[in-house]
Amino acid sequence: MALVGEWKLNEQSGIIVNDSAGSNNGTWSGAELVTNGAMTDLTGWTQTDLDYVWNSGSLRCDYAAIGFPEDRILSQDVSGVSSKTYDVSVNIVIQVTGTLSISLGLGSTPTVISGVAVHTFSAVWGGSDSIFYIEGSVSGDIAFKDVSVMEVLIPVTSPVGSGFVFDGVSDYVDIGNAALSAKTVALWIKQPDIAGNEYPIDLNGTDFLSIESGVVTVNGFTAPLLYVNGNLATSGVTTIEADKWYFIAITDTTAATTSDLDIGRETANQFQGSISGVGIYDAVLTVSDIGILWNNGASKGLRGRYAPASPGRVGTRGRERY
């Protein structure tokens, strides 16, 4: 088995998703995830009140009476985010007098911060708290550095360790041009329901896996073979059920390129559910190889072992746990 790319999806913090088989690390992305590394780069943030002079080059506010709590020095829109935990960090590098506060929304209780220091706290965003604010009543100058709102990754237990939960809105892993020769793609997935259309992995915008109302379909590829839970399956026919882990593998004697590799989305189409143990091989795995990979997960709590079945259905002895 020539494993050339592997993303276990077992990280619990940060935004880097490691490639344990190579150097193609990915980035955990989402509209609600914002971070910056310098005073001159605050991507995604907006200065929303013009009652004072704003020096965007230094993230510095130069005014002698910022009203509190109406006037907002900085804000970040996190609309659509629900019940996710975030680590917030604000580094105040200049503050002459006064105090600042951090709020999750107009109706929330602010966290008061004061003084030149790095201020950090954790918070759970809800649907009604759509704006993150740094507000204040300050006399003098204020300057910021390294302001960040970072989602705390909470892994879900999977048959091969742990995986990520994707919200179907903005969550995905962006790997980009991995420049791999993909003759086998394998991953574990679990969906909370099968009512919609989901897209667990996309190699290049043309070759991708979709699950539409529970029907597993291989898109693109030249002459693909589809396996579900170790069994040969039929693309566009084989179905899966909600709230169960499945091991899906695609093989093709013609290598697909990984020029724009994403986990959890295809172009603008997202995936809602859990993904774990993503692997790319530069060789066509045999049915025996795929059975071994399936059994590695099956032996860790899933019911059944690999047993060949007719194309179009998952073998009854290769079912996942209930």
The SS3 call for residue 297 is helix
The span from the CA of 264 to the CA of 260, in Å, is 13
pLDDT tens for each residue of the chain, 322 residues long: 589 999 999 887 667 899 999 999 998 875 444 444 443 444 455 554 434 444 444 444 444 344 444 455 566 655 555 566 777 777 777 776 666 777 665 556 667 777 788 888 777 765 544 456 666 555 556 666 666 766 677 788 999 999 999 888 778 999 999 999 999 999 999 999 988 899 999 999 999 999 999 999 999 999 999 999 999 999 999 999 999 999 999 999 999 999 999 999 998 899 999 999 999 999 999 999 999 999 988 655 443 333 333 333 333 333 333 2
pLDDT of residue 91: 77
The span from the CA of 234 to the CA of 226, in Å, is 6
For residue 306, the tally of other CB atoms under 10 A from its CB is 22
DSSP class of 317: G
For residue 316, the tally of other CB atoms under 10 A from its CB is 10
DSSP class of 318: G
**Tokens (6 digits) for 113:** 């911060």
Q: Where are the domains of the chain?
A: 3-30+171-318, 53-151
pLDDT of residue 291: 94
Same fold, 3-30+171-318 and 53-151: yes
The span from the CA of 320 to the CA of 43, in Å, is 43
pLDDT of residue 72: 54
Number of H helices, E strands in the chain: 1, 26
pLDDT of residue 272: 92
The span from the CA of 79 to the CA of 56, in Å, is 24
pLDDT of residue 311: 38
pLDDT of residue 97: 65
Which of 195, 184, 305 has its CA nearest to residue 255?
184
Q: Which residues contact 204 (CB under 8 A, 6 or more apart)?
A: 220, 256, 257, 258, 259, 260, 261
Q: Which CATH class is domain 3-30+171-318?
A: mainly beta
The span from the CA of 206 to the CA of 218, in Å, is 10
CATH code assigned to 53-151? 2.60.120.260
Residue spans of alpha helices (H) in the chain: 287-298
